[in-house]
Structure 1
């Protein structure tokens, strides 16, 4: 599983990344977490507002910090 956390590195993006890392650790899933800061790459994913979470190419959340429980449901 590949999880991309998209954003320039603002406080909201950092909180999102921490929530993703916590959810992955809690669920014990094998996942690669990638921080995407390049706006062109973010736009190519179909994301135009940050923070955003993309799991295996599917955009799950845009423009807000997702709850850890939401992330857990996305990663199974």
Structure 2
């Protein structure tokens, strides 16, 4: 594995910290069996968005029909 510093002048401690993070992420990715996805992030779950935007009819429902862009 090669890491190239493109900009700046990091200290040896900063390089060691960055390398530790990269190695830990690589080890975690290698530990997951192939073809199996890791745990889903709640922010990327489409059901979270759909559940939050369900509007019910009512006297003021016309105010919720406008979607600003």
Q: Normalization by structure 2: what TM-score? A: 0.29
Higher relative CO (Cα under 8 Å, sequence separation at least 6) belongs to 1
Return the structure number with greater helix share: 2
Higher strand share: 1
